[in-house]
Amino acid sequence: MLASLVGFLGDFDLAEEAAQEAFVVAAERWRRDGVPANPGAWLTVTARNRAIDRIRRDRTLAEKTRQLDVPEATMDELDDTVIEDERLELIFTCCHPALALEAQVALTLRALGGLRTADIAHAFLVSEETMKRRLSRAKAKIKATGIPFAVPAEHLLPDRLDAVLAVVYLIYNEGYSGRVNLAREAIRLGRLLATLMPDEPEVRGLLALMQIHHARRKARFSGEELVLLEDQDRSLWDAEEIAVGREALDRAIALRGRGPYVLQAAIASLQAEERIDWNEVAALYGQLAQITRSPVVELNRAVAVAQAGSTEQALEIVEQLELGDYQYLHSTRGELLRRLGRTDEARDAFERALSLARLERERRFLKRRIAEL
Amino acid sequence: MKYEMLIHVKPGYFESMAEDERKAISAEYMALAEDPAARGGAQLQGTETVTTVRVRDGQTLTTDGPYADTKEVLAGFYVFEAENLDQAIELAARIPAARLDGAIEVRPVVER
């Protein structure tokens, strides 16, 4: 309902207030008169009318609003089929590239996730005041600059959808290291997107990727310590979630998806097998590297190549990468050198990784690696 | 809504082009100025002609050169009418400077 109000009014704050007022009125009226046949429609009509009254009261000559020409909505005009689900429009508005990325994330969580400002602030380790300001500035910019409440035109859609998926993935990644709520929120958003855009393979791909990763979360740590994929206790994996993720992946592939999220999901799915086909994983990373041209992807490919048995070849790939201060480059080099028996070089590489590592549990992991040499 | 578009460029970007290219680019700028959505604009003379004026404590202070000492310089501006920011962005993307290593600052105009 909020989505359709925002669309109608072009103003978040007004929509929220109108919605709240409608609920208050509903509580009184319905207690007195009974619940109406179509409560959703009743609420929406009431909220719109409240908002229109409010705008008329507040309006000055200079102020322009979209809906002044719209006649007052009546109960007859609205039923369930007419109230459009405008959540897709809302997602694209929240994730508009003219907004700062952190604003996009906050707005998406607030408007689509329905999270309270205090909770969003907490999740991103800022004060509630800061988050409130971030949200207000973003809403003000939407209004002032005329960011449209619309699903972007077809020729703009691919880039804009990428932006939306990036925001959802960012939210998921913020939850990856333990704040489970955000990970669940991201998956919820992913499911919503998949419902609203059923023919977009990358949307399913992202959903699959998140679900498969999420299924493994309980095995990632043993107490406070990092556990590598090969050492994880698979009984702690959520088999059902993996299955659901794989279904989404199948759907994405059926839609001829071969984009970055689909590829990453396919890799995640392979890594959840009993016996991992590392050659296949390496091949998929290769395809991903061609699309994204990312040295980090190439690094992952090198790891897969090593796991498939070609340690020398893997090292060759790694040596060519320009990732000077990337901790995981050095930790990977260390591991490869260790496997090749080049212990002194391995130690240097691990030490370099340690000097770059900031997370305590990663530092402990690297120290253990060095001690074991 | 009216949107201003400030055109920031690397100095000499235009002059360093071959004559054919310069003619083609100029034609693009003129076409944009004649677009039905255009509501004004101007090409500005080079930064060697800029004077910055401030008044402090009733005194007029004049200095040579642009206000902001940046690599990029302001080459000109347009004002376009557009329905929303997405349309404005599409217009801005057509300004040649945008693809020739420059940047277009887009901002809504306060309507009176």
Cα A153 to Cα A98: distance, rounded to the nearest angstrom = 16
pLDDT of residue A22: 77
Are the C-beta atoms of A301 and A282 separated by less than 8 Å? yes
Res. A65: pLDDT tops 50: no
Is A66 in the B-facing interface, judged by CB distances under 8 Å? no
Is A114 in the B-facing interface, judged by CB distances under 8 Å? no
Res. A298: pLDDT tops 60: yes
Instruction: Give the SS3 label for residue B3.
Output: strand
Res. A177: pLDDT tops 60: no
Are the C-beta atoms of A212 and A246 separated by less than 8 Å? yes
Angle between helix A87-94 and helix A2-9 axes, rounded to 10 deg = 70
CB contact under 8 A, B84 and A146: yes
Task: Name the residue of chain A whose CA is nearest to B83's CA.
Answer: A146
pLDDT of residue A310: 95
CA nearest neighbour of B5 among B90, B66, B69, B67: B90
| A312-364 tens-digit pLDDT | 999 999 999 988 789 999 999 999 999 999 999 999 999 999 999 988 888 99
- Out of A62, A98, A153, whose CB is closest to B85? A98
User: Domains in chain B, start-ordered, CATH in brackets?
Assistant: 2-108 (3.30.70.1060)
Which residues of chain B are at the A interface, by a Cβ-Cβ cutoff of 8 Å? 1, 82-86, 88-89, 107-108, 111-112
Cα A349 to Cα A329: distance, rounded to the nearest angstrom = 9
In the predicted model, what is the mean pLDDT of residues A125-149? 93
| B54-92 tens-digit pLDDT | 999 999 999 998 888 788 899 999 999 999 999 999 999
CB contact under 8 A, A152 and B89: no
| A243-286 tens-digit pLDDT | 999 999 999 999 999 999 999 999 999 999 989 999 999 999 99
**Which residue's structure tokens are 């005194």?**
B59
Instruction: List beta partners, residue B40.
Output: B79
Res. A60: pLDDT tops 50: no
Higher-pLDDT residue of A9 and A286 is A286
Res. A7: pLDDT tops 60: yes
Where is B74: in which H helix or E strand? strand B73-81
Higher-pLDDT residue of B103 and A80 is B103
Q: Which two tokens stand for residue A283?
A: 């091949």
Q: What is the mean pLDDT of chain A?
A: 85
| A212-241 tens-digit pLDDT | 999 988 887 777 777 777 778 888 889 999
pTM: 0.76
pLDDT of residue A359: 84
- Out of A62, A145, A152, whose CB is closest to B108? A145
**Domain extent listing, chain A:** 2-77, 275-319, 324-373
Is A61 in the B-facing interface, judged by CB distances under 8 Å? no
CB contact under 8 A, B84 and A144: no
**Which residue's structure tokens are 């489970």?**
A180
State the nearest Cα–Cα gap between B65 and chain A, in angstroms.
31
Name the H helices within A65-156: 87-94, 101-111, 117-123, 128-145
Cα A284 to Cα A305: distance, rounded to the nearest angstrom = 11
Are the C-beta atoms of B75 and B43 separated by less than 8 Å? yes
Is A145 in the B-facing interface, judged by CB distances under 8 Å? yes
Q: Which two tokens stand for residue A371?
A: 């001690």
Res. A9: pLDDT tops 70: no
User: Which segment, A84-93, A122-131, B15-24, is predicted with the most confidence on average?
Assistant: B15-24
State the nearest Cα–Cα gap between B88 and chain A, in angstroms.
9
CB contact under 8 A, B1 and A146: yes
CB contact under 8 A, A144 and B88: no
With bands split at pLDDT 50, 70 and 90, how would you rate the model's confidence at A179? Answer: low
pLDDT of residue A227: 75
CA nearest neighbour of A237 among A248, A249, A227, A247: A227
Task: Name the residue of chain B whose CA is nearest to A160's CA.
Answer: B86
CB contact under 8 A, A146 and B89: no
Are the C-beta atoms of A15 and A54 separated by less than 8 Å? no
CA distances from A329 to A22, A25, A337, A341, A368 (A): 56, 60, 12, 18, 18
State the nearest Cα–Cα gap between B61 and chain A, in angstroms.
34
Higher-pLDDT residue of A276 and A83 is A276
Cα A180 to Cα A119: distance, rounded to the nearest angstrom = 13
